[in-house]
Structure 1
Amino acid sequence: MPTDTRPADVYRHGLRLLLGKDIPAWVDLWHDEGVFEFPFAPEGWPKRLEGKAAVADYMRAYPDHIDLHDVPELTIHETGDPETIVAEMRAVGRLVRSGDPYEMSYIAVVTVSGGRITRYRDYWNPLALPQDGTADFAGGRR
């Protein structure tokens, strides 16, 4: 857990955990009743996960699908709500199954209360995924 519970610091800490493939620690950043949403998820992909247990189940196999190497671009915007930030980022790595490069730009709207993520809206582009089935998890499908 980061020593500072400001949303931007929690978010940055979470990115370090994802880069370190420490999914259990990343899930520990979540509030028990946190909500993870994917507004642009295509048909057949989850659009909403409710609760820390659902987030843990969803993220469990993440490192088996995406080998995240870096987040070379990250801009965090404060909002009028001190508990909510908007993060713009680009993540790079490789798709584990195919070995193909992975690159995705994201915008996330994240709310943190008491040092825990209570809501995370992940705006990723499903059209940027390879269409050959190698990216089963790249944006959200398992």
Structure 2
Amino acid sequence: MLRSFNQRAFNERTPMSATSREVVEQMLRAGREMDVETVVALMAPDGCIEWPYRPPGVPGRLQGRAEIHRHLSQAGNFVRFTEYRDLVLHETADPEVVIVEYDALGTLVATGAPFRQTVIAVFRVREGQVRSYRDYINPLPLMEARASLARADRPGA
């Protein structure tokens, strides 16, 4: 169940007048810090997160705050991101759309092994809330990380 958060206090920090770029910057920071509550609060109530390219077992689409919260809370302990490198935000002719590209660096929580993920994401932000977040990750690093964890869990591996 979605834990309650103080929407009024959040709105004071993230006013409806925040630009799309500012909202995306907040979303990226919250994602890197694994701050699920802020990610969910930045989403529109019926907003969605999509992963068009993903490894098996990762849903293609999450719709609504409750579903997003549930998934991110359960999936949050796989990789701990430490930095986003070579971050570029592209503001588009459509003021609602921001395209982001970066390399996400971190470690696998279970083993401490280094992890690097290349990301291109497209955000649509309206009235200070993310309506859609389409995350075009490279699925290969996640697939390799999962495989390495599976090998480590096997006796005699």
TM-score by shorter chain over 0.5: yes
* Residues 1:132 and 2:147 aligned together: yes
Name the residue aligned to 1:89: 102
Q: Deviations over 1:6-48 (max 9, x none)?
A: 1211111122222333211121100010011111124432111
- Mapped contact 1:19–1:68 kept (Cα < 8 A): yes
Name the residue aligned to 1:26: 39
Query: In terms of Rg, which structure is larger?
Result: 2
- Cα offset, 1:133, TM superposition: 5.1
Q: d(CA) in 1 for partners of 2:89 and 2:55?
A: 26
- Cα offset, 1:104, TM superposition: 0.4
Q: d(CA) in 2 for partners of 1:67 and 1:43?
A: 20
After alignment, is 51-60 or 36-45 more displaced?
Answer: 36-45
Q: How large is the Cα RMSD of the aligned pairs?
A: 1.9
Q: d(CA) in 1 for partners of 2:125 and 2:19?
A: 7
- Cα offset, 1:89, TM superposition: 1.0
- Mapped contact 1:73–1:91 kept (Cα < 8 A): no
Name the residue aligned to 1:140: none
What are the ranges of 5 or more consecutive residues in structure 1 without an aligned counterpart?
136-142
- Cα offset, 1:86, TM superposition: 0.6
* Residues 1:2 and 2:17 aligned together: no
Paired positions, count: 135
Name the residue aligned to 1:109: 122
- Mapped contact 2:32–2:82 kept (Cα < 8 A): yes
- Cα offset, 1:62, TM superposition: 4.2
1:51 alignment partner, one of 61, 64, 73: 64
- Mapped contact 1:34–1:50 kept (Cα < 8 A): yes
- Mapped contact 2:55–2:140 kept (Cα < 8 A): no
Q: d(CA) in 1 for partners of 2:84 and 2:73?
A: 20
Q: TM-score, normalised by structure 2?
A: 0.78
The residue type paired with residue 14 of structure 2 is P
- Cα offset, 1:125, TM superposition: 1.0
Identity %: 33
The residue type paired with residue 134 of structure 2 is R
Q: TM-score, normalised by structure 1?
A: 0.85
Name the residue aligned to 1:79: 92
